[in-house]
């Protein structure tokens, strides 16, 4: 394959195919990537009309809950602060930020339909239909949220650096992506089967071989081209941030993982993750059974290689420009 797109190492090994795409794992940074990546045209065709149907009323009910206020409060934002949601999807994070009067929320997304939704349904004022790289660089933000975006991009590093460039001094970037090494998905057979079936169909491997490879370090959690082009490891993001700091020395950072489901109470960690409103009891239909199952999954599979979501909290130095 080409060098690892995340750390540029040439030491990679073939894992399996998903559809016609080959997946390789980088020996050095432990991320996996689709190589070669889909063409620009394939990516454009895939996202054309890509739109998540939203139940607006139900979602707004969730995003006006007090734990969202608590989530924003933990960043110690200045009064009348500025927030940016990169790849904002429906725009609910921005909506919640303004609902709790934290300040001005900006939304950027390349999908015109999502922008239309954010503008017309959620009545957001600051909707930018472009790449984050096209935003004016002199406009800085105290909080930038970039959830489940970088794994979709051919070059994640470029967006991470853009997001950091857009941070105001003392500002925080919340970067969320699936955790490449997590095996928590074994607790959710529906999700697991979808990927195993796709690999078995595209590669001459038995089911057992795929499951075994998953358990022995080749899970590349959540990689699924054309949508998810990479399974990003903690190490690969750290290497990017170390490289940035060796030149600019303008950030500090920490990382954590979050589980797919938290039961029965939604924790702050969970809010960093994928869907603050996914609870296993909702998936299984039974609150009691689902909650017990979730606790068991989180304490076993979720502990071994971390939760299903990887979260980086990147803080711009107070003295940075
Ligand atoms: Zn690498």
Q: Give the Å distance between the CA of 227 and the centre of ligand 1.
A: 20
Give the C-alpha distances (Å, rounded to integers) separating 112 from 88, 169, 221, 227: 12, 31, 29, 18
Residue-wise pLDDT tens digits, 205-256:
999 999 999 999 999 999 999 999 999 999 999 999 999 999 999 999 999 8
Q: Give the Å distance between the CA of 215 and the centre of ligand 1.
A: 20
Q: Give the Å distance between the CA of 4 and the centre of ligand 1.
A: 5
Q: Give the Å distance between the CA of 179 and the centre of ligand 1.
A: 15
Q: Give the Å distance between the CA of 25 and the centre of ligand 1.
A: 8
- Span between the terminal Cα atoms of the chain, in Å: 38
Say what the pTM is.
0.92
**Per the structure block, which two tokens stand in for 105?**
């929320």
pLDDT at residue 73 above 80?
Answer: yes
Average pLDDT, the chain: 89
Domain boundaries, the chain: 56-181+230-316
String of DSSP letters for 199-218 = HHHHSS--HHHHHHHIIIII
Residue-wise pLDDT tens digits, 82-95:
999 999 888 999 99
For a pLDDT cut of 70, what percent of the chain falls above it?
Answer: 89
Residue 71 banded pLDDT, cuts 50, 70, 90:
confident
String of DSSP letters for 197-265 = HHHHHHSS--HHHHHHHIIIII--TT-BTTTB-EE--HHHHHHHHHHHHHHT--EEEEEEEE-S---SS
Phi-psi region of 236 (alpha: psi -120 to 50; beta: other; left: phi over 0): alpha
With the C-alpha atoms ordered 147, 270, 92, 52, is the resulting torsion angle positive or negative?
Answer: positive
Q: Which fold has domain 56-181+230-316?
A: Rossmann fold (3.40.50)
Q: Give the Å distance between the CA of 33 and the centre of ligand 1.
A: 9
Whole-number Å distance between alpha carbons of 119 and 108: 11
């Amino acid at each position: 394959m080409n060098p690892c797109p995340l750390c540029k190492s040439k030491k990679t090994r073939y894992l399996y195919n998903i559809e016609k795409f080959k997946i390789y794992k980088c020996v050095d940074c432990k991320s996996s990537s689709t190589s070669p990546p889909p063409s620009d045209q394939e990516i454009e065709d895939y996202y054309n009309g890509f739109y998540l149907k939203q139940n607006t009323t139900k979602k707004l009910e969730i995003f006006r809950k007090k734990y969202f206020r608590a989530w924003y409060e933990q960043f110690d934002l200045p009064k009348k602060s500025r927030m940016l949601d990169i790849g904002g999807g429906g725009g609910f994070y921005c909506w919640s930020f303004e609902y709790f009067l934290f300040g001005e929320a900006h939304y950027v997304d390349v999908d015109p339909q999502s922008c239309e939704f954010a503008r017309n349904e959620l009545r957001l004022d600051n909707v930018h239909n472009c790449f984050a790289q096209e935003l004016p660089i002199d406009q800085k933000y105290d909080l930038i949220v970039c959830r489940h975006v970088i794994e979709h991009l051919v070059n994640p590093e470029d967006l991470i650096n853009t997001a950091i460039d857009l941070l105001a001094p003392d500002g925080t970037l919340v970067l969320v992506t699936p955790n490449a090494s997590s095996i928590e998905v074994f607790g959710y057979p529906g999700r697991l089967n979808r990927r195993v079936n796709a690999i078995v169909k595209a590669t001459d491997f038995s089911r057992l071989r795929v499951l075994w490879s998953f358990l022995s370090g080749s899970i590349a959690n959540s990689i699924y081209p054309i949508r998810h082009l990479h399974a990003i490891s903690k190490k690969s993001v750290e290497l990017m941030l170390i490289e940035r700091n060796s030149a600019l020395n303008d950030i500090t950072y920490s990382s954590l993982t979050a589980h797919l489901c938290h039961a029965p109470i939604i924790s702050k960690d969970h809010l960093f993750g994928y869907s603050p409103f996914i609870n296993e009891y909702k998936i299984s239909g039974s609150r009691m059974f689902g909650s017990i199952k979730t606790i068991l999954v989180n304490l076993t599979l979720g502990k071994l290689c971390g939760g299903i979501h990887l979260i980086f909290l990147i803080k711009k130095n107070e003295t940075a420009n």
